[in-house]
Amino acid sequence: MMDFGTPVLEPGSANGTKQVPQFNPYQDNGGTVASIAGDDYVIVAADTRFTLGYSIPTRKISRVLKINDKVMLGTAGMQADTCALHKVISTRMRMYEHDNNKRMTFNAVSQMLSTVLYYKRFFPYYTFNIVAGLDDKGEGWVCGYDAIGSFEQRKIVCNGAGTKLMQPVFDNQVDWAQSWDGAGKPNLSLEQATDLMKDAFTSAAEREITVGDTLQIYKITKDGIQLEEFELKKD
């Protein structure tokens, strides 16, 4: 059904009696993106469910943008803003490649995204991003962002609708946050990380209705990018 927006009180109207519907330019289309980085790999995962309120208009949209063979961007939040952001990032990436005659590094992409997001500080993109990639030495890293561009580089990040359910699991299983000195912290292999990612999304899909349908897992290694699709629950 058409969303008419929430009627709000017009600020200037006398004693707030005049009700005027206002256009709400934002919409939450759900989606979760997550990434686990290892010594020589990084995986980026995103579900493909597109929600609008309680409806699922389509079950297959992509939330991930391939920047180059070593870096990817994942975006949750509003789909229209995601598209626009991905267009801006692709264009600026192309300009960078023309100007500098080389690919953008992971660091360059992560800084650029922050700049692009903050540029719209007062009319932000309603998007929650992660940038994952291999650095110059081939080590995996991931940056997590808020909607207006503040970011942090880490080994594990998730962003979007399922964050509240998944982040604690990752803190525990990857970061070993329960241990003060990190004793016994595991060094996950690519396969272990992939399995953990599947479990995390499967669990999130149990309780968070905007997570589901298909999980796309992109595995970035020195040999390039591989896509694995994993089916989540569809209801």
Partner 1 sequence: MFRNQYDTDITTWSPQGRLHQVEYAMEAVKQGSAVVGVRSDTHVVLATLKRSTSELASTQKKLFSIDDHLGIAIAGLTADARVLGRHMRTECMNYKYIYETAMPVGRLALNVADKCQVSTQRASKRPFGVGLLIAGYDELGPHLYQSCPSGNYYEFYSMAIGARSQSAKTYLERHFEEFASLELQDLILQAIRALRETVSSSKDAELTSKNCAIAYVGKGDTFTIVEDEEIQPYLDTLENSDGKQEEEEEETEDAAEQTEDKPTDAPMED
Partner 2 sequence: MFGGQDSKQHTVQPYVTGTSVIGLKCADGVVLGADTLVSYGSLAKNRKTSRLMTVSNHCSLGFSGEYSDFQEIKSTLEELMISEYCMADNIPMQPRAIHQYLARVMYEARNKQDPLYNQLVIGGVLPATGEGYLGLVDLLGTNYESEMIATGYGTYIALPLLRKAYRPDITVAEGRKVIEDCLRVLYYRDARSIDTVQISTVTKEGAETTEPFKLETSWDFKKFKAGSRLIDESTW
Task: Draw the binding track, 42-61, toward partner 2 (x: CB under 8 A; -: no contact).
Answer: --------x-x--x-xx-xx
Nearer residue to partner 1 within complex by CB, 56 or 116: 116
Residue 93 Cβ vs partner 1, minimum distance, rounded to whole Å: 10
Tokens matching residue 133: 């990639």
Question: Out of 9, 16, 19, 20, which residue is the one contacting partner 2 (CB under 8 A)?
Answer: 20
207 binds, among partner 2, partner 1, none (CB under 5 to 8 A by kind): none
For 210, which DSSP code?
Answer: T
Q: Is 122 in the site for partner 2 (CB under 8 A)?
A: no
Nearest to residue 41, comparing CAs of 187, 233, 208?
187
The size of the interface with partner 1 (CB under 8 A), counted in residues, is 6
Q: Is 137 in the site for partner 1 (CB under 8 A)?
A: no
Q: Which stretch binds partner 1 (CB under 8 A): 13-21, 39-47, 68-76, 89-97?
A: 89-97
In angstroms, the CA 116 to CA 112 distance is 6
Question: Out of 18, 60, 94, 222, which residue is the one contacting partner 1 (CB under 8 A)?
Answer: 94
A 10 A CB-CB count for 207 gives: 10
Write the CB contacts of 213 (distance below 8 Å, at least 6 apart in sequence).
47, 48, 49, 56, 59, 60, 231, 232, 234
Q: Do 32 and 167 contact (CB within 8 A), yes or no?
A: no
Question: Out of 28, 83, 146, 175, which residue is the one contacting partner 2 (CB under 8 A)?
Answer: 83
Q: Per DSSP, which regions of 90-135 are E strands?
A: 127-134
The binding site for partner 1 (CB under 8 A) comprises 87, 90-91, 94-95, 98
